[in-house]
């Protein structure tokens, strides 16, 4: 444990980290990849280029400093990150490397303000935090490998089927190449896919939510083809999956991971809210409930620009026809003429508080949501405004975690 003097030194750096945190983490990654380019095989290059990974690490370092005297407060965050580390193949030997370059970045960015006392305190704190990660991840590796159908690291899966779900989303049905059983999972979890793209020096790892219920002989992922926009580059891996990967090809998968999961011990109603490709973990939860908890009331709400971009609508509508406890609603903010003619959506525009309260029968429910970060900020704000307890609000980020402080009321 850390002594009181070390704790006070760490806490004294909180204002500095609030100002210089992102500069420190940016320099950290530059140092790390220059000294250990092999680690580029683990990290998401797109998140690096967009600055998302740097911002996420800066937030994590800041949180560690704020809570340094009660590190148990950040254990839930440690476990969330540890799930991702396990699925990526992060190992104990990586932590001293990270520590060396994080301290080096602090010294470089802060200059003379980074005294020996501050650097020593952060070295001690990093050691304690790293030990927490290593211990939790060791348990996860062991549990993952020893479970029925489980495995360590990455395992070869064959693309059994490739199904177009919308203009931008395609599902891949993946079966183990060795023909053996596969690990079960909790609805809401994800797998990591490791790709070797011809002509590129590094492998790429991407995490995709499983989009069907567990206990099937396959894993299904439903991938959005990310095209280039003003705000972000084209999705390197998603485009390769859509354009080049064919039925019969082999992909390398980690075992399922993640702590954003459906609480199946809870018998209360569930509200599933998604935007865009964020519907993938929601469909997994929905399919699981209609199979295992057929009497549990479910409200399924999905937002998309228009019908051509709306994946899995027919399958959800079919479930709603069969299961009276399921209510499904669509919200299109740019409906096509065909959408309007066929009245294929329940609402034109955005999800807002008044409409949500009009279709959700009770506040006494579990609320789960996933989608683009602005969408999730808005949903989170609506739920808080409605008085939903934090314990009933559950969400998942695709990629590094961000802030969900509400920045507006509209959702697109």
Catalytic residue positions, numbered: 95, 137
Say if residue 172 carries a ligand binding annotation: no
Token readout for 13 is 């750096």
Distance CA 207, CA 330 (A): 26
Q: Give the bridge partners for 109, in sequence order.
A: none
- As to burial, measured by CB atoms within 10 angstroms (0-12 exposed, 13-18 middle, 19+ buried), residue 405 is exposed
Say if residue 199 carries a ligand binding annotation: no
Say if residue 240 carries a ligand binding annotation: no
> Residue 406's closest CA among 393, 391, 383?
383
Q: Sheet harboring 298-304: ordered strands across?
A: 347-348, 326-332, 298-304, 270-275, 366-370, 393-396
Q: What is the DSSP letter of 51?
A: T
Question: 170 near 244, Cβ under 8 Å?
Answer: no
Say if residue 278 carries a ligand binding annotation: yes
Say if residue 190 carries a ligand binding annotation: yes
Token readout for 383 is 């739920």
Say if residue 85 carries a ligand binding annotation: yes
> Residue 54's closest CA among 95, 21, 100, 101?
21
Collapsed DSSP state (helix, strand, coil) of residue 209? strand
Say if residue 208 carries a ligand binding annotation: yes
Say if residue 277 carries a ligand binding annotation: yes
Question: 332 near 304, Cβ under 8 Å?
Answer: yes
Say if residue 281 carries a ligand binding annotation: yes
Say if residue 280 carries a ligand binding annotation: yes
**Distance from CA of residue 129 to its chain's centroid?**
22
Token readout for 33 is 């990849």
Say if residue 233 carries a ligand binding annotation: no
Say if residue 294 carries a ligand binding annotation: no
Say if residue 243 carries a ligand binding annotation: no
Length of the chain, in residues: 412
Feature table: binding site for FAD: 190, 206-209, 397-400
Feature table: binding site: 85, 190, 206-209, 276-281, 397-400
Feature table: binding site for heme b: 85
């Amino acid at each position: 444990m850390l002594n009181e003097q070390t704790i006070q030194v760490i806490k004294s750096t909180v204002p500095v980290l609030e100002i210089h945190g992102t500069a420190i983490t940016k320099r950290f990654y530059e140092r790390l990849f220059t000294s250990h380019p092999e680690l580029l095989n683990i990290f998401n290059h797109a998140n690096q280029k967009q600055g998302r990974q740097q911002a996420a690490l800066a937030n994590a370092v800041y949180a560690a400093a704020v809570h340094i005297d009660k590190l148990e407060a950040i254990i839930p965050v440690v476990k969330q990150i540890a799930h991702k580390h396990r699925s990526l193949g992060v190992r104990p030997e990586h932590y001293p490397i990270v520590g060396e370059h994080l301290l080096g970045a602090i010294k470089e960015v802060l200059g003379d303000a980074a005294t020996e006392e501050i650097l020593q305190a952060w070295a001690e704190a990093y050691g304690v935090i790293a030990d927490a990660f290593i211990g939790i991840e060791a348990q996860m590796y062991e549990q993952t490998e020893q479970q029925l159908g489980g495995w360590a690291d990455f395992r070869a899966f064959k693309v059994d089927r490739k199904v177009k779900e919308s203009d931008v989303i395609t599902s891949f049905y993946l079966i183990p190449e060795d023909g053996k059983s596969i690990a079960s999972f909790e609805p809401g979890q994800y797998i990591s896919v490791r790709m070797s793209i011809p002509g590129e020096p590094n492998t790429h790892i991407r995490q995709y939510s499983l989009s069907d219920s567990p206990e099937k002989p396959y894993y299904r992922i439903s991938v959005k083809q990310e095209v280039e926009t003003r705000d972000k580059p084209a999705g390197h891996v998603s485009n390769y999956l859509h354009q080049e990967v064919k039925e019969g090809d082999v992909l390398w998968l980690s075992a399922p991971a993640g702590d954003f999961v459906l609480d199946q011990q809870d018998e209360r109603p569930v509200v599933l809210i998604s935007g865009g490709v964020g519907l993938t973990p929601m469909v997994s939860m929905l399919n699981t409930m209609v199979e295992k908890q057929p009497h549990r009331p479910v409200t399924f709400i999905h937002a998309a620009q228009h019908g051509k971009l709306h994946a899995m609508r027919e399958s959800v509508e079919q479930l709603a026809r069969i299961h009276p406890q399921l209510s499904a609603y669509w919200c299109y903010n740019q409906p096509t003429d065909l959408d309007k003619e066929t009245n294929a959506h329940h609402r034109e525009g955005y999800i807002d508080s008044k409409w949500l309260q009009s279709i959700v029968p009770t506040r006494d429910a579990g609320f789960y949501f996933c989608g683009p970060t602005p969408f999730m900020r808005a949903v989170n704000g609506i739920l808080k405004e409605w008085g939903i307890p934090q314990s009933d609000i559950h969400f998942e980020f695709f990629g590094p975690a961000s802030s969900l402080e509400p920045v507006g009321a509209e959702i697109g």
